A = this chain, B = another copy of it.
């Protein structure tokens, strides 16, 4: 029996009320049946964390415009696991995560809950894509994002994704994008700027903040470069992180 429409699981790390996930869910609904499973709070910078020491719960919240919304108390990666195990009748055809309110380009991919969910989908054999907008504004303008989502999901439906590969899509907040570039992950790092304060008992505490530093400012083939040029970027990312170049050096470790 052929299915009429693909089943698309939508998740994020900002919760089900974020403008980003609503935009994503409405846009991918043009392609199939959509189920939203997300956290009951914001889980920014949760990376690929999963919950092993606390019980997990699932709550069916509502059905709106043909989309079912579920909340869990888990991380983005937990949401994918719970959806696959308890909520969906069958394995979804695609998992999309986002649209994150904030960049996940370059090495930010490693901190991102949005991309943690996409990687979890990929580990479960489902073609998975994480979308992020380069704006932290809760009311950000996602109008160009919809075009990017349609393009990237269409290509993914047409060509599939290799097993063990997921996509990291970043989108400048722009009234008119220059295009979409398939490119490599740039090299960069977050430079910490801790804000130091004192609590009423005289104890110091610190807020983690910082700015991103592009460590390859001359490179013209990275996501960082193309984002600066007003392109959306698509970086294909691997589950297998082995450094084969170093491996081929055949270093011998004696016992």
| A→B interface (CB under 8 Å) | 42, 44-53, 55-58, 77-78, 81-82, 84-86, 107, 109-111, 113, 116, 119, 123-124, 147-148, 151-152, 155, 159, 161-162, 164-165, 177, 179-185, 187, 189-190, 192, 194, 197, 203-209, 232, 234-247, 250-255
Contact = CB atoms under 8 A, between A and B. Distances in A.
List the number of copies, as a whole number: 2
A48 B197 CA distance: 25
Contact of A208 (B50, B162, B238, B241): B50
B242 A57 contact: no
A253 B152 contact: yes
A109 B242 CA distance: 11
Contacts of A109: 241
A57 B254 contact: no
B177 A208 contact: no
B234 A238 contact: no
A218 B251 CA distance: 24
B180 A255 contact: yes
Q: Which are the 9 A-B pairs with shortest beta-carbon distances?
A: A180-B253, A47-B47, A55-B205, A236-B246, A47-B48, A236-B243, A184-B242, A238-B243, A47-B49
